[in-house]
Structures are given as C-alpha cells and as structure tokens.
Structure 1
Amino acid sequence: MAGKFEPKTPVNLDPPKDDPITLEELAKADGVNGGKCYVAIKGTVYDVTGNKAYQPGGSYHAFAGHDASRALGKVSTKAEDVKPEWHDLDDNQKSTLNDWVTFFSKRYNVVGKVVGATNTE
C-alpha cells in the first residue's frame, strides 16, 4: 500500500540535515519551557516541536530528547523502553520500527544525526 504512511495533510519538509547532535544536545531538546523538541530514531534526529503529543504532558513526551528506537519497535511508551538499542528486537518489532522511520520521515524535518550512534542499521 503506497500511501499507507502518507500524512492526511501534506507536509512541506526541509531537505534533511546531517548536523552532528550530541546526546547532551538531544537530551536538552525535550520541549520543556517551550524549547525545541527532538526525537531520534536509529540515530536520525527529527524535529517534533510542533506536535503537542511530544510536549510536556503529551502522550509521547517520554520520547522527547531521546533516541526512542526500542520503544517505537515495541510500541511502548514506558520510560524503561526508551532506548536506542533495537538490534535484539524480533523481526516483527524491527518491521514496526522501520514503519515508524517511514512515518516520521514523511512528517518531521530531519535536523541531524546523533554523534557516535551505533544503532543506525
């Protein structure tokens, strides 16, 4: 299904950036006090600032300022699952994680890459 992950409203995205983002910089981008809100998946950092779900009090705020690869693969919002490690997930969970990558890439600007990420592929 080609349009499976297409947004309901078209999104004009900027060209993806590959700026280096340290874990410390990522952690600060948690949306607190109206600041930037980033979520990383497989080492790629997405700007989700405009989505209230990732802001403090939102249902996905646990992902803000983190690489949430494992949690997304497991379809979990538990803080203990919000980790970059995903290689030990089962095939179904890996497929789900890849679906999330597609979903995010169609909705949010890529602002950089996590410095030293070992979970990219």
Structure 2
Amino acid sequence: MNWFILLPFFSWGLEQVDAFNIAPQNVVKQRKIPSNQMLKLQNAFGSKRIQLQTSKSTTTQLNLDLNPPIIAGGAVALFGIWLYIDGYDARERNRQNKEYEAQVKAIEEERARLAYIKPKDYWTEDELKQYDGSLENDPEQNGPILMAANGKVFNVYKGRNFYGPGGEYQNFAGRDATRLLAKTQVEEESEEEMKKPLNMGQRATLQGWMWTLESKYDIVGELEGFDSDTTSTKAVMTSDDEVVPPPQMPF
C-alpha cells in the first residue's frame, strides 16, 4: 500500500466538510457571561458562524455544528493511515525476502557457470578421474564434479558438500559408483565382492539412487563400455581369471 491508495479517503473526507452548512445544530453548552458582549467565532472554512450573544437577563447558548459525514470522512482517513502504518513491517519483510531471493539466484547462476562442463556422448573412467572435485584437480572448489551411475554420467557439483573433499560421498566422485550405490556403502569392495553380481535387492536400491540423481543433477553423457548386466565396465572374473557370462536377471 502507498499514499496514492489513501488519497481517495482524504478526498472523500474533505468533500464531506463542504456539507458543513447543512449540518443540524445541537446545543452543547450553556453558561452566564457578562452583559453587553458578543463573541463571533468563524470556523476554518468560513462557511458557518458560531455566536455567543448575551444580555443581563439572558443565558448564552453555544451552537456547534456536528456533521456526521465529516466525522465519518475523518475516521476513514485515519483508518487508511493506520492500515498503511500497520502494514509497514509486512512490506519491509517482503522487500527483504525478495532481495534475499535475488541474491541466492545470482549465487546459484554463478555456481552453475563456473561448474559447467560441455556434455558429450561418452566418457571414459580415466576422464572421470580428472573431475573428482579434489583440491588437486579443482583448487578453487568451483569446478564440475563427475560421477557415473548405471551407465550415466552426472555433474553433481550442486552436491559439493557431499561429493567434494571431506564429504560423505567423496569416494563416489570421479568414478563409476554404480556398485557402491547399489550396496549403499562408501568403502571399496574387496576382490571377492567385485566378482559377485548384484542381487535383486541391490538393483532395486540402485534404481532408487538413479531416480534421485536424475531428478537432482545434470546428465552430461554416458560411461563408455558400461555393461548394464554386470553393472561394470569390466567383465566379472573368477579366481582363475576366466570370464563369466553376465548373469541373467529376472527383470
């Protein structure tokens, strides 16, 4: 609300003042005053004369115009002023919120600009290692962070607190994290564990991770050589280094 909104209230109140001449008169006070005196009172608008006339044997009457429209107009104007003053805190909070939102948006846009990486069809695992978010590869801590999951490569820079140095999932960055995500673990698999295909429960967990990643981060390509059956870029090997065919999953 601003003062322009209040102008109609003031205008209406002033218009009611012009009706002063047609207002009824009410006796509001009586008192004795010395004889042979006359006091004439002129109101601010010059439209009505209030008189005190006395003689030795008379009682003076003060006739004062009480105009209901004037009172109503003034009340409306005062109410408008009260609304304006009362709403100041809310307007100030809205202004501060808009300023804060603009600042946050500017920061996010700058982060996106610094962490942008051009998408391409395929990424190798060696290429992913260059974008692990480490201080060695990203001293300013503003660049992209790449992570592969189920054959897709994501730029997870928005989750730098999780995937950057010291983050809970920093071991997922700059690599294919498919199997670790499926097993919900951050420690490296042992050689024996790596030889075992994912079970149905682990694959279901992986799909849950994929839904989260796809809804939150940018996909910048696919992982070269990824096998969706073995969930790896490498063939599953036996202890005798014999290639084992990918397991046939029921779905």
TM-score, normalising length: structure 1: 0.75
Which of residues 109, 118, 122 in structure 2 aligns to 1:20? 122
Q: CA RMSD in A?
A: 2.2
The answer for the alignment partner of 1:76 in structure 2 is 185
Q: Per the alignment, in what secondary structure is the counterpart of residue 66 of structure 1?
A: coil
The answer for the alignment partner of 1:39 in structure 2 is 147
Residues 69 and 86, structure 1, Cα contact 8 Å, conserved in 2: no
The answer for the alignment partner of 2:176 in structure 1 is 67
After TM superposition, where is structure 1 displaced by more than 6 Å over at least 4 residues in a row? none
State which drifts further: 58-67 or 32-41: 32-41
Structure 1 residues 112, 87: CA separation in 2 closer, same or farther (over 3 Å shift)? farther
- Once the two structures are TM-superposed, the CA of residue 80 in structure 1 deviates from its matched residue by 2.9
Aligned counterparts of 1:87 and 1:118: Cα–Cα separation in 2? 14
- Once the two structures are TM-superposed, the CA of residue 87 in structure 1 deviates from its matched residue by 7.7
Structure 1 residues 18, 95: CA separation in 2 closer, same or farther (over 3 Å shift)? farther
- Once the two structures are TM-superposed, the CA of residue 19 in structure 1 deviates from its matched residue by 2.1
5+ unaligned residues in a row in structure 2: which ranges? 1-118, 232-251
Residues 48 and 54, structure 1, Cα contact 8 Å, conserved in 2: yes
- Once the two structures are TM-superposed, the CA of residue 79 in structure 1 deviates from its matched residue by 2.6
The answer for the alignment partner of 1:113 in structure 2 is 222
The answer for the alignment partner of 2:110 in structure 1 is none
Instruction: State the one-letter code of the partner of 2:154.
Output: Y
The answer for the alignment partner of 1:8 in structure 2 is none
Fraction of identical pairs, as percent: 33
Instruction: State the one-letter code of the partner of 2:158.
Output: G
Aligned counterparts of 2:170 and 2:189: Cα–Cα separation in 1? 13
5+ unaligned residues in a row in structure 1: which ranges? 1-16
Residues 40 and 67, structure 1, Cα contact 8 Å, conserved in 2: yes
Aligned counterparts of 2:211 and 2:186: Cα–Cα separation in 1? 19
- Once the two structures are TM-superposed, the CA of residue 96 in structure 1 deviates from its matched residue by 0.4
Instruction: State the one-letter code of the partner of 1:23.
Output: E
TM-score, normalising length: structure 2: 0.38
Residues 20 and 113, structure 1, Cα contact 8 Å, conserved in 2: yes
Instruction: State the one-letter code of the partner of 1:29.
Output: Y
More helix by share: 2
Larger Rg: 2
Aligned counterparts of 1:97 and 1:112: Cα–Cα separation in 2? 18
Q: Per the alignment, in what secondary structure is the counterpart of residue 79 of structure 1?
A: coil
Q: String of CA shifts for 1:60-115, please: whole Å, max 9, x gaps.
A: 0000011111111111011337xxx7981111111000111111000000001111
Which structure has the higher relative contact order (CA within 8 Å, separation 6+)?
Answer: 1
Q: String of CA shifts for 1:42-71, please: whole Å, max 9, x gaps.
A: 110011012110001100000001111111
